Amino acid sequence: MFTLIARARKDAKALQYINERNYGGFLRVESLGGGRTAEEVMDNLGKILKSPYIPVLLLGEKEKGLMDGLLPAFWEDGKPFYARLLRTKRVRNMRVDELYAHIEEIKARFRLGIEWRKAYTLNPENPFGIEINPDYDIYLALGEGFRRAMKEILDVGLGENPLVLRKRMNQEVYFSGPNRVAEVSKKLGSPTEVLWKCPCVEDVPLDSILSENWDYVEAFARASKAFLEGFKGHSIIVPWSGGKDSTAALVLAKEVFRKATAVYVRMEYEMPLTDEYVEKLAKKLGIELVRVDVPMPIERYGLPTHSNRWCTRKKVEALYSVASWFENPVLVVGDRDGESIRRRLKPPVVERKTPLGVFREVMPVKFWSGMMVQLFLLSRGVELHPLYYEGFYRLGCTICPSLAQWEFKLLERRRLEPSPHSKSD
């Protein structure tokens, strides 16, 4: 979660309008009190920086001298931060939609920006030059199985622990060490296609990536836990699929609340190894696990499609049915901005009106990248679901309409019966 910082109260008011309109008011907005020199505002800044939220300083072009005087305090604070001078004299002079676009781009910088220091190091200044787009994501292609699948299926060689920039339409750019080594299209409904490749691979030790990013990831974890603190006193329910994002949400919830209940809605055509992963990790974490088995009668409804995702409706109904057992429930979900435009445009807290009542969903990893989620879990001694080490970016059902040809091939490699969807791919 972020704190947006402006110089004067009127500038903060412009930011607060966007906060209420686009983020449900769940970002923090602060004013430096209107002073024009670093000396005049330093006390206010010191109080603001005590918050665990990640600071973002936004000033007008006429306030460059003030920004220069404040930057040492941000560096001394030690948290990740970003500072930007806008093209207008003051923050409040900028059009609302343009100011919102700045905030979205800055948020994306925090999860996408990289510096190369013998390992991929998160840095919103982005000296590595990763393409910044609010709808992109980055993750690490972990595991020998992932690399072997890339080589055997696509003839693309990768070093250990490559970085992947995932763009729109499932188009991915692979980095091996400091080198761009391939671009691959995994577009739904189309054959997987290698757009270009380069035999310039380099190994990157995972221990180095973890150590380089420890402070950064911990800072975001503290911010997310401070956000969750606002929901103490509720019954905490974590919808847990076994995927990395819901697992990170579960670990955060466990670190914040005295008690959290994980709900595993087990669909009939669940991905392989998910049952084993969920049961084993639940015991390791010592959390209460509720499992609900949901049949998927495809003989009655047909295969799920993008226009008829009856499977999702059944899954959500089962989840809300369990949540209704609890008094004053809050659902801690693993939605992230980098997954889709639809999820990015949601505020970090939403209320769902259902026949069983109104349920509040909160999203503590909304502003994280896939890489940040991976590193957070590994830093906690939590291994990822085994399928991530075989080449999967996301997990769902084996008959999910959102599976691409790449994922069908990965399933076939595990000697599963090919899904009927694969014939159309």
Which pLDDT tens digit goes with each residue over 118-172?
999 999 999 999 999 999 999 999 999 999 999 999 999 999 999 999 999 999 9
Closest CA to 392 of 364, 366, 422, 414: 414
Percent of the chain past pLDDT 70, that is, above it, reads: 97
- CA-CA distance, 156 to 49, in Å (whole number)? 45
CA angle 94, 134, 206 (to 5 degrees): 135
**pLDDT on residue 167:** 98
pTM comes to: 0.96
**pLDDT on residue 418:** 41
Percent of the chain past pLDDT 90, that is, above it, reads: 96
Q: Which tokens go with 207?
A: 């221990």
Domain ranges for the chain: 2-114, 228-368
Q: Which tokens go with 333?
A: 């979900």
- CATH topology identical between 2-114 and 228-368: yes
Residue type, 128: F
**pLDDT on residue 258:** 86
Distances (CA, A) of 17 to 89, 236, 406, 407: 19, 30, 43, 42
Query: Could you tell me which CATH number the domain at 228-368 has?
Result: 3.40.50.620
Query: Could you tell me which CATH number the domain at 2-114 has?
Result: 3.40.50
Phi, psi of 370 (to 5 degrees): -60, -40
Q: Which tokens go with 129?
A: 């030059």
Residue type, 96: V
Q: What is the pLDDT of residues 29-78, one digit of tens each?
A: 999 999 999 999 999 999 999 999 999 999 999 999 999 999 999 999 99
